[in-house]
Amino acid sequence: MTDRISFLLNGAPRTVSGLAPTTTVLEYLRGAERACGTKEGCAEGDCGACTVVLGEPTGDGLRYRAINGCIAFLPQLDGKLLLTVEGLAEGNALHPVQDAMVECDGSQCGFCTPGFVMALFAFQQGGEPASDDAIHEALAGNLCRCTGYRPIVEAARRVAAVRDPGFELRAPSLRAGVAALPHDGDLAIEQGGGRFFAPTSLDRLLALRAAHPDAHLLAGGTDLALLVTKEYRALDIVIAVTQVPELARIVLDDKALTIGAAATYTDALPLLERFFPSLGLMIRRLGSRQIRNAGTIGGNIANASPIGDMPPGLIALGATVALRSAAGARELALEDFFLDYRKTALRPDEIVESVRIPLPAPDALFRTYKIAKRWDQDISAVCGAYRLTIADGRVTEARIAYGGMAATPKRAARTEQALIGRAWTEATVAQAIAALADDFAPLSDWRASADYRRKVAGNLLRRLWLESAQPTLTLGVMAL
Ligand SMILES: Cc1cc2nc3c(=O)[nH]c(=O)nc-3n(C[C@H](O)[C@H](O)[C@H](O)COP(=O)(O)OP(=O)(O)OC[C@H]3O[C@@H](n4cnc5c(N)ncnc54)[C@H](O)[C@@H]3O)c2cc1C
Ligand code: FES
Ligand code: FES
């Protein structure tokens, strides 16, 4: 057990104590380190000006991923490498990503530039192709307010899939530096009125949960940190779930895919995309890559937002959620987990352990759609998800769920009944759309009016019908 946070900052070891555990990585860099290259634009994960790169041990190497420093707490660095824009150049020699930004005139204001450089560095280290899609995805979490994207994209093209011999030479010593960190066992920090625990075993996590039922559980922090950075709330006790190996597991068997509550979206994406392509496309629109590198499906479920992107699709797929406390485990159908607005069936001593998604039968029709004001980086106004089995032209099974239509993500029971046993025709779909009014009485808010939500919910079901009738519509953008 230790009360010190140990990490490498651009290769140099740091051991930090004496700071409140909810100090953000960005605050630490700009304050304690006076490393002011990393900027604060929004302090809520939207603009990317604070992008830094985490190097996390994997086997015998390090895996580099971009995150938002403004919504990461300092203890989340423990045992890892933190790279910032100050750490890329070697002496007077710029890193190839920085060179590309200079040569392509990618830096106009300079304020957003360090964030772009770090996002591009992670993109290059990931060995991704120079395709428009890959570049768009890598940069969607970085805003350029002067609209100078073209030269930045050009810089991305230059560095994509290009080897980085200078950094390859540094990599072994960075890996050795991380291995040499005094990073043993559980973190337990008490400082400035806040307590932070990061247990490394499931038993100790559950014991801490039982001892501190009012504590905030922390996974990626992409929701939780905003309580600190936007609402200026003090979090008295925080318990991180991310250091428990069992919770990071992703297990595929012949019946289901089970995703641990601490597995990030980025970790889960390859298998989700393989078995549930529509859910995979949805995840690619969830937040930005920085958000997906930290955020978890477990956090999306536990946070119980009525407009979270994952629950409707998971409910339609018949997912169950495993809950665990020191007293034992139980499993609930996901739709039964959500009780009321931001109210769940989770008991004070329980944690979300994992979500289990049954693999769909080969003939099942599954789609999940998101309607938001922007394509990237926006929360849904309405989310609709559908899993249908159609045999000999008739609907034999229907599971339908919506987000943004009620106080919780919710199944559309009457709409399902309007489909089951009927011919899968336009007329049946029209009747099912009419039945949506029996299932939902949506509210108006600043995202959308009640009328708009009603209309869109019906249109999404109609879209499912059109796509099933004309499979070519399911390609690319139309699948969303
Ligand atoms: C810029 C930005 C864009 C975003 N875009 C989207 C979007 O497009 N769609 C969307 O749905 N969401 C979006 N989000 C919200 C957020 O990223 C997701 O909800 C994410 O899945 C939260 O996961 P997390 O691991 O970061 O959770 P955290 O922030 O760590 O936790 C969220 C909540 O769950 C609780 N919790 C976490 N793990 C557990 C556990 N194992 N057991 C019990 N409780 C637990 C926490 O106590 C907290 O209340 C966005 C957020 C930001 C900042
Ligand atoms: S400061 Fe805007 S994403 Fe962090
Ligand atoms: S280059 Fe910074 S806002 Fe455009």
Sheet holding 81-83, edge to edge: 12-16, 5-9, 81-83, 51-58, 61-68
**Does 465 lie in the same domain as 441?**
yes
Over its length of 480 residues, how does the chain's per-residue pLDDT go in tens digits?
A: 778 999 999 999 999 999 999 999 999 999 999 999 999 999 999 999 999 999 999 988 999 999 999 999 999 999 999 999 999 998 889 999 999 999 999 998 989 999 999 999 999 999 999 999 999 999 999 999 887 899 999 999 999 988 888 898 999 999 999 999 987 789 999 998 899 999 999 999 999 999 999 999 999 999 999 999 999 999 999 999 999 999 999 999 999 999 999 999 999 999 999 999 999 999 999 999 999 999 999 999 999 999 999 999 999 999 999 999 999 999 999 999 999 999 999 999 999 999 999 999 989 999 999 999 988 889 999 999 999 999 999 999 999 999 999 999 999 999 999 999 999 999 999 999 999 999 999 999 989 999 999 999 999 999 999 999 876 655 343 333
Q: Tell how far the Cα of 125 is from the centroid of ligand 3, in angstroms.
A: 23
Ligand 1: residue whose CA is nearest its atom 8: 286
423 assigned to some structural domain: yes
Q: Is residue 108 left, alpha or beta, with left meaning phi > 0 and alpha meaning psi from -120 to 50?
A: alpha
Identify the H or E element spanning 64: strand 61-68
232: CATH:
3.30.43.10
Ligand 3: residue whose CA is nearest its atom 1: 108
DSSP state of 412: -
Nearest CA to 101 among 87, 84, 118, 86?
118
- The CB of 109 under 6 Å from ligand 3? The reply is yes
- Closest ligand to residue 225's CA: 1
- Closest ligand to residue 104's CA: 3
- The CB of 111 under 6 Å from ligand 3? The reply is yes
Q: Are 67 and 222 in contact (CB under 8 A)?
A: no
**Does 336 lie in the same domain as 310?**
yes
For residue 472, what pLDDT is reported? 61
449 assigned to some structural domain: yes
- Closest ligand to residue 143's CA: 3
Q: What is the C-alpha to C-alpha distance for residues 441 and 445, in angstroms, rounded to an integer?
A: 13
Q: Tell how far the Cα of 45 is from the centroid of ligand 2, in angstroms.
A: 5
The domain containing residue 158 runs over which residues?
Answer: 96-163
* Percent of the chain that is helix, strand, coil (3-state, to 5): 40, 25, 40
**Does 399 lie in the same domain as 327?**
no
137: CATH:
1.10.150.120
What's the pTM value of the predicted model, to 2 decimals?
Answer: 0.96
Within 6 A (CB) of ligand 1 lie: 44-46, 71, 216-224, 241, 261, 286-287, 291, 294-296, 298-300, 302-303, 308-309, 351-352, 377, 379
Ligand 2: residue whose CA is nearest its atom 3: 45
400: CATH:
3.30.390.50
Q: Tell how far the Cα of 45 is from the centroid of ligand 1, in angstroms.
A: 12
For residue 7, what pLDDT is reported? 97
- Closest ligand to residue 144's CA: 3
Write down the residue that tokens 């012949």 correspond to.
254
311 assigned to some structural domain: yes
The minimum-distance atom of ligand 2 relative to the CA of 70 is 4
Within 6 A (CB) of ligand 2 lie: 40-43, 45-50, 68, 70
Please report, as a single letter, which amino acid is at residue 220. Answer: G
The minimum-distance atom of ligand 1 relative to the CA of 223 is 29
For residue 198, what pLDDT is reported? 97
- Closest ligand to residue 70's CA: 2
Residue that terminates a domain, selected from 324, 358, 392: 358
- The CB of 151 under 6 Å from ligand 3? The reply is no
314: CATH:
3.30.465.10
336 assigned to some structural domain: yes
Q: Are 23 and 73 in contact (CB under 8 A)?
A: yes
Q: Is residue 110 left, alpha or beta, with left meaning phi > 0 and alpha meaning psi from -120 to 50?
A: left
Task: Kindly report the number of other CB atoms within 10 A of residue 348's CB atom.
Answer: 11
Q: Tell how far the Cα of 152 is from the centroid of ligand 3, in angstroms.
A: 9
67 assigned to some structural domain: no
- The CB of 225 under 6 Å from ligand 3? The reply is no
Task: Kindly report the number of other CB atoms within 10 A of residue 161's CB atom.
Answer: 14
The minimum-distance atom of ligand 2 relative to the CA of 46 is 3
- The CB of 112 under 6 Å from ligand 3? The reply is yes
**Cβ burial, residue 234 (10 Å; 0-12/13-18/19+):** exposed
**Does 348 lie in the same domain as 263?**
yes
36 assigned to some structural domain: no
Residue that terminates a domain, selected from 358, 393, 425: 358
Residue that terminates a domain, selected from 148, 163, 178: 163
Q: Which of 202, 222, 228, 374 to mutate to test the pocket of ligand 1 (most atoms within 8 A of CB)?
A: 222
Q: What is the C-alpha to C-alpha distance for residues 59 and 39, in angstroms, rounded to an integer?
A: 32
**Does 257 lie in the same domain as 153?**
no
335 assigned to some structural domain: yes
Computed over every residue of the chain, the mean pLDDT equals 95
- Closest ligand to residue 68's CA: 2
For residue 59, what pLDDT is reported? 82
**Does 250 lie in the same domain as 354?**
yes
| Total domains in the fold of the chain | 4
Determine the longest span between alpha carbons in the chain, in angstroms: 72
**Does 411 lie in the same domain as 335?**
no
Q: Which of 30, 50, 67, 376 to mutate to test the pocket of ligand 2 (most atoms within 8 A of CB)?
A: 50
**Does 254 lie in the same domain as 343?**
yes
pLDDT digits (tens, 9 = 90+) for 1-53: 778 999 999 999 999 999 999 999 999 999 999 999 999 999 999 999 999 99
Q: Tell how far the Cα of 52 is from the centroid of ligand 2, in angstroms.
A: 10
**Does 253 lie in the same domain as 350?**
yes
The minimum-distance atom of ligand 3 relative to the CA of 113 is 2
**Does 214 lie in the same domain as 151?**
no
Which three-class secondary structure state does DSSP give residue 83? Answer: strand
**Does 326 lie in the same domain as 267?**
yes
pLDDT digits (tens, 9 = 90+) for 219-274: 999 999 999 999 999 999 999 999 999 999 999 999 999 999 999 999 999 999 99
Q: Tell how far the Cα of 438 is from the centroid of ligand 2, in angstroms.
A: 42
Q: Tell how far the Cα of 220 is from the centroid of ligand 1, in angstroms.
A: 7
Q: Tell how far the Cα of 480 is from the centroid of ligand 3, in angstroms.
A: 30
**Does 262 lie in the same domain as 192?**
no
Q: Residue 378: how many CA atoms within 13 Å on its side-chain side?
A: 12
Sequence-separated (6 or more) residues with CB below 8 Å from residue 91: none
5 assigned to some structural domain: no
